[in-house]
């Protein structure tokens, strides 16, 4: 226990202590900037947390560089954006029935009618209270679950089991994301394949480069993810707007009466419902691939079934706002559970957190992070400890700081954000495109980065238009190097046994579940 | 991140043959990889002997496993389309039609034209200022660290790109739109060229 507290103490102090040992407020400031950006971006229709994180990452790397000391400022800003965006999306949803972020869509069902009844302020404060409390709850679960899962994984799972776990995660993600799981899984394999371009595992030179020396260091990671995840989405939206002339004339409705404030008594009565929504959001968020919309939908349905007045749902009951906001915000902390404990990203926001860690410094997510190595000072050398664990607790500290900013600034800002809905999506999308392409050029080696972003955006466009979910492709792209290392290691350790993945009962069990998911996908495909 | 238009939902059913094309395309891709691409572009084989004589995976090991796993999935996709259950039409799939290809052509042209503007505006500006006697640069490379020449290409191409896409989304281009584009690109110039060191805007990293 002493060791745990020692590491927690080191983690907290690492956020406030600069590389030279003096007081360092840069990470705290960057968390604040991130939260502000997140809240504002969340309130702009057409934007979302992952969009802002995608654009911010290359800019942050340009500012802070690739060294270890850049990790906290960059991660602080990204975590702040992720958390701030969960709060901001509710404001236009409540005041104008225009959700700032997709997960705030269900908030419109009861938030907007509340605002129309003259209870706009109460609805916004309900959304803020539920959202931040739900987020805090899932953070607490993350702080406890991530180390526990990581320790269990590191103790129980060897190379074949870890390989099987990644295969299972990919199958699970393909099965639950989108309507076309077979194509989702094919997309995941394609993503893995593409990430092998330019890499080498046995010192025989880069592979699959078509003889182009520019590809010798592999594809630029950030540009590729920016292209497939963000630019392709922007292109699809731009094309939809190009084909749809009717929505142009429609402007936002007039801002409704704000009405009375939310009382402390009302807040106290909401706590059980918030706890239920946050629990649903946390469980859903911890599973890879299942997003905020599913969490909000399940929570809304569950709240309606549990309510004494289910008929009031959809007509402006605060219970509806509590259910959706507590659940969709709880996803943001919980989706870091698989990231921090296993190194497996579960949603778009987590992808950019992983990307930041892979781009900057030498810290890497995975079960090895949570090894509680005894802290020993070796005379004349240095202190021996697990620096990754200190960084992990530093990340947790920054998440707590982001929560504090969300409680204080979030509450103040939310009432002022209504006018952001007037920023037209038709202007925002081209601006995002220009900024994204510029960021790809500046961070990833000039036209190579730009070309990579462009090609991957076309791949993403094609996948989206064919209804193949993007997430397995991106996750496959990011996980391929890890999976290849594990599979090669397991094969070598088995002495070249072709059935190396089937020798362990745990790996066999995981592969059996993967096979079951595959059979389910095929049956689903034949029934569709 | 964005909602799907209603017409696309209808396309899901119409685009069933895409499953077939995707499955067959994947099988063709796998065949191409195994017979042409991998043998020519991967330095070591599926397995190799290391210095101690132990059999270890070569660089082709994982790529072959990956494309190998694609085969059953592609076959299942084709079969689910060819032999669906009664009343079903195979796995849901969208559609890419001529209209989509037209849109892609439009944005590729627009982006290409903007990149051309980025590449040549700086050179043009240097030639112009040399011609009127304001400067005596030997070429754009010599001026590429001097304001405003260093950002002129990005400024021209960036404004063209932003205006072009605003024209597509708004179906018109007003003076306000152009001012928004100018302001956005000016902010990017200020951020990347003014505030950050060692960052090069297009096309300066590729001279």
Q: What is the pLDDT at residue A520?
A: 83
pLDDT digits (tens, 9 = 90+) for A340-379: 888 888 788 888 999 999 889 889 898 888 988 898 888 7
What residues pair up with B47 in beta bridges, in sequence order?
Answer: B57
* Six token digits for residue A67: 């060294």
Q: What percent of chain B has pLDDT over 90?
A: 57
Q: What is the pLDDT at residue B7?
A: 46
> B106 pLDDT exceeds 80?
yes
Among B7, B96, B168, residue whose Cα is nearest residue A239: B168
3-state SS of A53-118? HHHHHHHHHHHHCCCHHHHHHHHHHHHHHHHHHHHHCHHHHHHHCCCCCHHHCCHHHHHHHHHHCC
Q: What is the pLDDT at residue B107?
A: 96
For chains A and B, CB pairs below 8 A equal 235
Q: What is the pLDDT at residue B125?
A: 94
Residue B101, Cβ density class (10 Å: 0-12 exposed, 13-18 middle, ≥19 buried): exposed
> A131 pLDDT exceeds 70?
yes
Q: How many residues does chain A have?
A: 528
Among A436, A472, A479, residue whose Cα is nearest residue A454: A436
> B2 pLDDT exceeds 80?
no
Q: What percent of chain A has pLDDT over 90?
A: 42
Residue A268, Cβ density class (10 Å: 0-12 exposed, 13-18 middle, ≥19 buried): exposed
3-state secondary structure of A50: helix
Average pLDDT rounded to a whole number, residues B102-120 = 95
Token look-up 């099965």 returns A175
3-state secondary structure of A479: helix
Are A442 and B2 within 8 A, CB to CB? no
In this prediction, residue B89 has a pLDDT band, given cuts at 50, 70 and 90, of low
> B145 pLDDT exceeds 50?
yes
CA distance A396 to chain B (A): 27
> A514 pLDDT exceeds 80?
yes
Among A135, A126, A84, residue whose Cα is nearest residue A413: A84
* Six token digits for residue A434: 């220009």
Are A200 and B43 within 8 A, CB to CB? yes
Number of neighbours of residue B163 by Cβ within 10 angstroms: 21
Average pLDDT rounded to a whole number, residues A400-404 = 94
Chain B interface mutation, best of A59, A202, A351, A464, highest count of B Cβ atoms under 10 Å: A202
> A518 pLDDT exceeds 90?
no
Q: What is the pLDDT at residue A254?
A: 66
pLDDT digits (tens, 9 = 90+) for A151-193: 888 888 889 999 999 899 888 888 877 778 889 899 999 999 9
Q: Which residues of B touch A427 (CB under 8 A)?
A: 166, 169-170, 177, 180
Judge whether B197 is closer than 8 Å to chain A, CB to CB. no
- Helices A264-286 and A120-156 cross at an angle (nearest 10°) of 40
CA distance B170 to chain A (A): 6
Stretch 103-162 of chain B: residues touching chain A, C-beta under 8 Å = 103-104, 107, 111, 115, 154, 158, 161-162
Instruction: Please give the ipTM for the structure prediction.
Output: 0.88
* Six token digits for residue A9: 């103490």
Stretch 330-369 of chain A: residues touching chain B, C-beta under 8 Å = none
3-state secondary structure of A408: helix
Angle (nearest 5°) at CA A287 between A283 and A289: 130
Residue of A nearest to B206 (CA): A446
pLDDT digits (tens, 9 = 90+) for B150-174: 999 999 999 999 999 999 999 999 9
In this prediction, residue B189 has a pLDDT band, given cuts at 50, 70 and 90, of very high
Pair A126, A343: CB distance under 8 Å: no
CA A435 remoteness from chain centre: 21
> A441 pLDDT exceeds 70?
yes
What residues pair up with A384 in beta bridges, in sequence order?
Answer: A376
Stretch 411-430 of chain A: residues touching chain B, C-beta under 8 Å = 424-427, 429-430
Highest-confidence segment of A46-55, A233-242, A517-526, B195-204: A233-242
Q: What is the pLDDT at residue B1?
A: 43
Pair A149, A341: CB distance under 8 Å: yes
Among A35, A449, A61, residue whose Cα is nearest residue B198: A61
Number of neighbours of residue B65 by Cβ within 10 angstroms: 17
Q: What is the pLDDT at residue A366?
A: 87
**DSSP string across chain B:** --PPPHHHHHHHHHTTHHHHHHHHHHHHHHHHIIIIIHHHH-SS-SEEE-TTS-EEE-TTHHHHHHHHHHHHHHHHHHHHHHSPPTT--SS------HHHHHHHHHHHHHHHHHHHHHHHHHHHHHHHHHHTTS---SSHHHHTTSTTHHHHHHHHHHHHHHHHHHHHHHSS--HHHHHHHHHHHHHHHIIIIII-SS---TTGGG-
Average pLDDT rounded to a whole number, residues A398-421 = 85
pLDDT digits (tens, 9 = 90+) for A213-255: 888 888 888 899 999 988 999 999 999 999 886 655 455 556 6
CA distance B202 to chain A (A): 7
* Whether residue A479 has a cis bond before it, omega within 30° of 0: no
Among A105, B12, A453, B16, residue whose Cα is nearest residue A461: A453
Among A41, A43, A16, A46, residue whose Cα is nearest residue A28: A16
Count helices and strands in chain A by DSSP H and E runs: 22, 2
Q: What is the pLDDT at residue B116?
A: 95
Q: Between these two residues, B155 and A415, which has the higher pLDDT value?
A: B155
* Six token digits for residue A468: 């193949």
Tell me how far CA of residue A132 lies from CA of A55, A139, A274, A405, A477, in angstroms.
24, 10, 10, 10, 32
> Mean pLDDT score of chain A, rounded to an integer?
88
Rounded-to-integer distance, Cα A215 and Cα A227, Å: 17
Judge whether B45 is closer than 8 Å to chain A, CB to CB. no
Pair A72, A15: CB distance under 8 Å: yes
pLDDT digits (tens, 9 = 90+) for A301-315: 999 998 888 889 988
Q: Between these two residues, A293 and A78, which has the higher pLDDT value?
A: A78
Q: Which residues of B touch A192 (CB under 8 A)?
A: 66
In this prediction, residue B144 has a pLDDT band, given cuts at 50, 70 and 90, of confident
Pairing of strands B55-57, B47-49: antiparallel
CA distance A210 to chain B (A): 7
* Six token digits for residue A32: 């604040």
> B9 pLDDT exceeds 60?
no
Q: What is the pLDDT at residue A194?
A: 93
> A80 pLDDT exceeds 50?
yes
Q: What is the pLDDT at residue B3?
A: 42
Judge whether A458 is closer than 8 Å to chain B, CB to CB. yes
In this prediction, residue B77 has a pLDDT band, given cuts at 50, 70 and 90, of confident
Residue of B nearest to A425 (CA): B169
């Amino acid at each position: 226990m002493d060791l745990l507290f020692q590491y927690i103490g080191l983690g907290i102090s690492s956020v406030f202590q600069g590389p030279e040992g003096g007081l360092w407020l840069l990470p705290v400031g960057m968390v604040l900037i991130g939260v502000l950006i997140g809240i504002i971006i969340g309130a702009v229709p057409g934007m979302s947390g992952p969009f802002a994180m995608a654009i911010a990452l290359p800019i942050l790397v340009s500012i802070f560089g690739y060294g270890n000391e850049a990790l906290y400022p960059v991660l602080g800003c990204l975590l702040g954006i992720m958390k701030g965006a969960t709060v901001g999306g509710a404001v236009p949803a409540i005041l104008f029935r225009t959700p700032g972020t997709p997960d705030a869509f269900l908030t419109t069902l009861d938030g907007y009618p509340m605002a129309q009844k003259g209870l706009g302020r109460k609805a916004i404060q309900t959304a803020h209270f539920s959202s931040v409390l739900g987020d805090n709850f899932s953070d607490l679960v993350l702080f406890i679950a991530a180390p526990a899962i990581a320790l269990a994984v590191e103790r129980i799972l060897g190379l074949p089991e870890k390989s099987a776990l990644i295969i299972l995660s990919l199958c699970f993600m393909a099965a639950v994301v989108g309507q076309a799981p077979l194509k989702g899984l094919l997309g995941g394999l394609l993503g893995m394949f593409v990430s092998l371009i330019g890499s080498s595992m046995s010192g025989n030179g880069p592979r699959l480069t078509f003889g182009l020396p520019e590809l010798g260091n592999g594809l630029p990671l950030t540009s590729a993810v920016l292209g497939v995840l963000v630019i392709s989405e922007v292109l699809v939206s731009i094309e939809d707007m190009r084909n749809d002339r009717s929505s142009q004339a429609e402007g936002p409705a007039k801002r409704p009466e704000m009405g009375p404030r939310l009382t402390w008594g009302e807040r106290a009565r909401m706590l059980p419902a918030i706890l239920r929504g946050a629990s649903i959001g946390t469980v859903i968020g911890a599973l890879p691939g299942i997003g905020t919309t599913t969490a909000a939908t399940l929570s809304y349905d569950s709240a309606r079934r549990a309510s004494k007045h289910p008929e009031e749902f959809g007509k402006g009951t605060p219970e509806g706002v509590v259910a959706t906001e507590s659940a969709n915000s709880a996803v943001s902390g919980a989706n870091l559970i698989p990231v921090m404990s296993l190194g497996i990203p579960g949603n778009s926001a987590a992808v950019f957190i992983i990307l930041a860690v892979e781009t900057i410094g030498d810290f890497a997510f995975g079960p090895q992070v949570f090894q509680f190595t005894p802290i020993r000072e070796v005379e004349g050398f240095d202190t021996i400890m697990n620096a990754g664990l200190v960084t992990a607790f530093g990340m947790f500290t920054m998440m707590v700081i982001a929560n504090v900013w969300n409680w204080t600034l979030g509450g103040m800002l939310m009432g002022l954000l209504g006018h952001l809905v007037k920023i037209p999506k038709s202007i925002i999308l081209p601006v995002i495109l220009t900024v994204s392409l510029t960021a790809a050029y500046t961070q990833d080696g000039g036209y190579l980065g730009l070309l990579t972003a462009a090609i991957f955006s076309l791949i993403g466009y094609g996948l989206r238009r064919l209804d193949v979910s993007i997430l397995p492709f991106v996750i496959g792209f990011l996980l391929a190097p890890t999976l290849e290392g594990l599979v090669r290691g397991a094969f070598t350790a088995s002495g070249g046994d072709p059935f190396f993945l089937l020798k362990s009962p745990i790996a066999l069990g995981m592969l059996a579940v993967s096979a079951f998911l595959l059979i389910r996908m095929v049956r689903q495909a034949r029934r569709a | 991140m964005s909602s799907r238009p209603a017409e696309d939902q209808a396309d899901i059913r119409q685009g069933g043959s895409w499953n077939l094309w995707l499955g067959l395309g994947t099988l063709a891709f796998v065949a191409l990889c195994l017979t042409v691409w991998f043998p020519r572009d991967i330095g070591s084989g599926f397995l190799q002997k290391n210095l101690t004589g132990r059999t270890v995976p070569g660089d082709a090991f994982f790529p072959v496993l990956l494309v190998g796993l694609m085969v059953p999935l592609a076959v299942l996709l084709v079969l689910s389309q060819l032999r669906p259950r009664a009343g079903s039409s195979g796995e849901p799939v969208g559609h890419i039609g001529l209209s989509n290809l037209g849109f892609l052509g439009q944005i590729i042209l627009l982006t290409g034209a903007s990149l051309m503007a980025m590449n040549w505006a700086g050179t043009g500006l240097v030639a112009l200022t040399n011609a009127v006697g304001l400067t005596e640069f030997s070429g754009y490379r010599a001026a590429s660290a001097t304001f405003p020449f260093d950002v002129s290409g990005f400024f021209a191409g960036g404004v063209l790109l932003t205006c072009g896409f605003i024209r597509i989304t708004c179906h018109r281009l007003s003076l306000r739109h152009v001012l928004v584009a100018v302001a956005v690109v000016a902010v990017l110039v200020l951020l990347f060229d003014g505030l950050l060191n060692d960052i090069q805007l297009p096309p300066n990293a590729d001279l």
